[in-house]
Amino acid sequence: MRTALVNGRLLSGEVIVSGKTLLLAGSRIEALVDPGDSRCRDAAVVDLQGQLLLPGFIDVQVNGGGGVLFNDDPSLESIRAIGAVHRCFGTTGFLPTLISDDLATIGRAIAAVQSALDAGMPGVLGIHIEGPFLNWARRGVHDSKHLRSLDANSVAVLRGLRGGRTVLTLAPEMTTLDIIAKLAADGILVCAGHSDAGFELTTAAIAHGVRGFTHLFNAMARLEARAPGIVGAALYDTGTWCGIIVDGHHVDPVMLKLALRCKPHNRFMLVTDAMPAVGSSASSFMLQGRTIRVVDGVCRDESGGLAGTALDMAAAVRNAVSLLGLDIVEAARMAGEYPAEFLGLDRELGRIAPGYRANLVLLDGDLRVRKTWIEGAAS
């Protein structure tokens, strides 16, 4: 059974096109055709009413949503609940994210994601393990009792996922270059973050397999004139990806604009670092025994420190336009195409093109979500 999406504006490659019909066949995109194409005759028609159709958003850092925190209950049910909430905001692919915890909890989280992948749960692409191999001085909201060095004994746990992507955030100074190389060779996407690493060590870590940087600028040594450090290395290297939180609170928009001048835009990806506050009206939530309050859309712990976000991907896209001055095409690519490239899924996700998964998001004139499709199923 074909579905024909008609009367919309669609992002095709680097341009927005009108007057075309998008044909879906099952879980895949079949073709972008003229309305008179014979294949449209027997298709179920969906009128997009002139609205904007984009590749579905991909978020590689999702701690929670709808009042649910993955760390509290690393289970199939939690993943389903979190994914359903974020789908309302255009996220059609995501990595449930576990912040620093003990190895047993990491193992349970990986097993839960494996069950989600085996069950074909909509939107689940793998797991992001953020810590506990982080620098104590740059731990942010991560519980210091869980922090540890990454040694050979931990590697077996981290390699447990099959058929999905594993992203691991670590501080390069909390392990060895040989272990980083081993993880990368095993297919784990290693990102540097929560780190005080200097420029030389970070550059060496990149050479040994570090693929990206987790929430650039946040929980990292500052960029200084005589100490470019981890941020300087992230911006100097043109091959690695940088996740950026565009909420107007985590990083000054001017700093993000400067970053975007340093390396190609296709090496930046929007992330939410979302906490249970997304999709919830609650004014607070618990994070590993601490009360996190949500005031004016910002999550803070008892000391006033930032504790993840109440940001969703549709808002991140709007902010990339309004705060960073990007056009909607580039903002959308940072939310879909570039994260797909980072994950190595760019031959099936992140574009509206024949053969790609039919993961789509429909936005109105205010760039708010009106409809989503995951593998051809609408919601």
Q: Which residues are catalytic?
A: 273
Angstrom CA distances, 160 to 113, 154, 373, stand at 10, 11, 30
> Strand 369-374 to strand 377-378: parallel, antiparallel, or no bridges (unpaired)?
antiparallel
Q: Cα 22 from chain centroid?
A: 26
- With beta carbons less than 8 A apart as the criterion, state whether 54 and 92 touch: no
Identify the bridge partners of residue 52 per DSSP, sorted by sequence position. Answer: 9, 363
The CA distance from 20 to 6, in Å, is: 7
Nearest CA to 54 out of 364, 377, 269 is that of 364
- The sign of the dihedral angle between the CA atoms of 281, 292, 107, 179 is positive
- What is the β-pairing status of strands 44-47 and 2-6? parallel
Q: Which residues pair with 129 in a beta bridge?
A: 98, 168
Cα 150 to Cα 24, 159, 165, 209, 323, distances in angstroms: 45, 13, 19, 15, 37
Supply angle C-alpha 109, 212, 75, rounded to 5.
10
